Amino acid sequence: MPAPWRICCNKKSKTKNGKAKMDNMEDTSEKMQMKKEITLLNGISLIVGNMIGSGIFVSPRGVLMYSASYGLSLVIWALGGMFSLFGALCYAELGTSIVKSGGSYAYILEAFGAFVAFIRLWSSLLIIEPTTQAVIAITFANYIVQPIFPHCEPPYDAVRLIAAACICSLTFINCVNVKWGTRVQDVFTYAKVMALILVISVGLYKIGKGETENLRAPFEGSATNAGMIALALYSALFSYSGWDTLNYVTEEMQNPERNLPLSIAISMPIVTVIYLLTNIAYYVVLDMSALLTSDAVAVTFGSETLSYAKWIIPIAVAMSCYSGLNSSIIAASRLFYVGAREGHLPDSLSLIHIKCFTPVPALLFNGLMTLLYLLVEDVFLLINYYCFNYWLFVGLSIAGLIYLRYTQPHRPRPIKLNLFFPIVYCLCSLFLVIVPLYSDTINSLIGIGIALSGIPAYYLGVYLPVEKRPKCLQWLSATTTKYVQMIFYCALSDLDIDMEPTAAKSK
């Protein structure tokens, strides 16, 4: 029985005698590689959709808690947006000079070689991607069932099953067609932005009526301790993470030299302005104690201001989670696909569907890993383990930009920034690495341990020459690849064939 997406993707054509037949590989002259179907608008939706997750609806209190005043918190939100813009601009240069999917993994591989890139990939595979996606899916499920259980904790099993259904549905959509995935992203991103515009409009209406008691002394009580301000800035910068999403799908973009930097240039100001205005709206309506004690700030805001329309907010949070999860699945699957193409993961993950031109094995692997993490009861605690790793590798990729300027000065660079931007962001990344080490030392050390656990895997699967690798691993890889090709109707892409010498060299 063919896989469901194979049925969806097969197209019927007419023969000369009028009989229908199924298209096959021999009937098409199309190159076997993923299609360039991501437009400028899709790119903006991917970045905005991933950056604006559930956090701005649920718990934007971290910045306020550490800054201790409305005025200072808004300054820190603005600084966070500016620093994130610096990082995004650096990624615009990297993405247009190294036109490969895979984001920071591809850039670290190019600059610092296979070992560091593999550790980055291993960290994503074991902790960063599946944990992030599991948490987003559980948050989605909680807000879906909240109206059914308004006064009590929703059943654990119901939440996990709905979360699993959410992951499976988005994995299926992205297996069938890249366009389906980007359309879902567009629709749900528009919906969540409209919900935030509603929140902002209510806040501006209140300001217009003169209800500004909470903002009359905005800097009163502001934190003066450098450590508290640093933690506030850390919270803001973490809320802005996700601006690198589009760099994971560079090879699928139409005209990436133009559309990648343009998507970044449009998305970053949009998100920064939305974050600032949404927080102002919260501050106008809710006092500080309500903001700091609420488990879901936007829901509390809706209950105070929207009356019978307050149901809009929980739905908006759910839609925001669905959009964020979709963009995360798209990015993670391309990361695993590129990693396999470079010889750092099993070959079976580098295959693409013959008709759909989607990385079906990588998508299914990502979905399976996330479903496994749903079985972990305290999955939210796992987030604490990867903060150190995440910012370390983002900083390394931007340090790679500076390194490549000197080692490959003649590399074509459609966009070439002043070195001020990457240097400032590298210093910012160093700060983001030190803060979790200082404030959450044990969890950061666990995260480092998880990353370093990839060393034996690198030695056995990448460093050793093929003839010296364990025979059982070679047999398992070859057998898995064979059956994945047959079951999921996949093949090696033309790009993979062209890059085999490069992959061998990287080993």
More confident residue, 239 or 491: 491
pLDDT at 495 over 60: no
pLDDT at 506 over 50: no
pLDDT average, residue stretch 142-158:
83
pLDDT band at 189 (very low <50, low <70, confident <90, very high): very high
Give percent above pLDDT 90 in the chain: 54
Going by C-alpha positions, the residue among 40, 332, 45 that lies closest to residue 187 is 45
Mean pLDDT of the chain: 86
Determine which helix (DSSP H) or strand (DSSP E) holds 20, and give its type and residue range: strand 20-22
pLDDT at 393 over 80: yes
pLDDT average, residue stretch 288-307:
84
How far apart are the C-alpha atoms of 316 and 196, rounded to whole Å? Answer: 9
Identify the sign of the CA torsion 105, 387, 370, 177.
negative
pLDDT average, residue stretch 421-447:
85
Determine which helix (DSSP H) or strand (DSSP E) holds 394, and give its type and residue range: helix 387-407
Q: pLDDT at position 507, please?
A: 44
Of the spans 313-322, 359-368, 427-436, 439-448, which averages the highest pLDDT? 359-368
Going by C-alpha positions, the residue among 233, 243, 296 that lies closest to residue 52 is 243
Q: pLDDT at position 12, please?
A: 44
pLDDT band at 405 (very low <50, low <70, confident <90, very high): very high
Q: pLDDT at position 59, please?
A: 64
Burial class (CB in 10 A: 0-12, 13-18, 19+), 59: middle
- Residue 441: both structure tokens together: 């030392």
Q: What is the pLDDT of residues 456-473, one digit of tens each?
A: 999 999 999 988 888 998
Range in 9-23, 74-88, 329-343 the model is least confident about: 9-23
pLDDT at 69 over 60: yes
pLDDT at 441 over 50: yes
- Residue 134: both structure tokens together: 């599991």
pLDDT band at 182 (very low <50, low <70, confident <90, very high): very high
How far apart are the C-alpha atoms of 419 and 382, rounded to whole Å? Answer: 35
Unique residue bearing structure tokens 């700060």? 431
First to last CA, the chain: 38
Angle subtended by helix axes 441-452 and 114-123, to nearest 10: 120
Q: pLDDT at position 14, please?
A: 44
Q: How far is CA 262 from the centre of its chain?
A: 19
Q: pLDDT at position 287, please?
A: 87
Q: pLDDT at position 259, please?
A: 93
Q: pLDDT at position 457, please?
A: 93
